[in-house]
Amino acid sequence: MIQRIQSVWLLLAALCNTGLFFFDIYRAHIMVNGVDTLQSIRVNDHYPMLLVALVITVMPAIAIFLFKNRKRQRLIAILAMVFTAGFISQALMRVGNFNNQVPAPTNGSYWIGAVLPAIAIIFLGMAIGGINKDMKLVKSLDRLR
């Protein structure tokens, strides 16, 4: 049901998390035998990150279709925010481990995949605000009956 604003926010959060499968999280140049090679951290290369990314992509998409049960929709959106924060911490730990390997990277930078989960958290927060507003509206209409 895309006629409510929270459905739009949930869809945008799901699309941001879908971008994790296409963009790198971190790229670094490493000198191997005198040759500069480019190595990257991707979600697809690490099985636990892949599972968490799949979960945080599917949860907002499922929440879109729970428009008749706003409490459950809000609960799934909150859980998606928590799992997305967990994904961000997992990605930061993976980058830290990557930078401490031997040979050490000479030059590294975060890429689009590192920013997308943060944007998804913002969209999920806006969706939760819209769900709360709908719950408040329904409660006030029930009082008038």
The closest of 3, 1, 17 to 124, measured between CA atoms, is 17
pLDDT tens across 12-70, in order?
Answer: 999 999 999 999 999 998 888 888 888 899 999 989 999 999 999 999 999 999 888 88
Burial class (CB in 10 A: 0-12, 13-18, 19+), 61: middle
User: In the CATH scheme, what architecture does the domain 5-138 have?
Assistant: Up-down Bundle (1.20)
pLDDT at 102: 76
pTM reported for the whole predicted model: 0.88
Residues whose CB is less than 8 angstroms from the CB of residue 57 and which lie 6 or more positions away in sequence, other chains included: 14, 17, 18, 20, 21
